[in-house]
Structure 1
Amino acid sequence: MANTSAVYARIDTNLKDSAEDILSKLGISPSSAIQMLYSQIVLTKGIPFDLRLPSAKPLAVGAMTREQLDAELQKGVDSIKAGKVYSADEVDATLAKEFGI
Structure 2
Amino acid sequence: MSQSKINFKIDKKLKKELDKICEEIGIPLNVAFTIFAKKLARERKIPFEVDTDPFYSKKNLKRLKKSIKQMENKVDI
Q: Structure 1-normalised TM-score?
A: 0.52
The equivalences for 1:40-59 within 5 A come to 40-56=39-55
Q: Structure 1, unaligned stretches of length 5 or more?
A: 57-66, 68-101
Per-residue CA deviations over 1:8-65 (Å, capped at 9, x if unaligned) read 0100000000111010110011111111000110122011111111222xxxxxxxxx
Within 2, Cα distance between the matches of 1:51 and 1:3?
Answer: 31
Q: Structure 2-normalised TM-score?
A: 0.67
Q: Which moved more, 1:47-56 or 1:12-21?
A: 47-56
**Which ranges of 4 or more aligned residues in structure 1 deviate by more than 3 Å?**
none
Within 2, Cα distance between the matches of 1:54 and 1:44?
Answer: 25
Q: Structure 2, unaligned stretches of length 5 or more?
A: 56-69, 71-77
* Count of residue pairs the alignment pairs up: 61
- Describe the SS at the equivalent of 2:47: coil
* Percent sequence identity over aligned pairs: 21
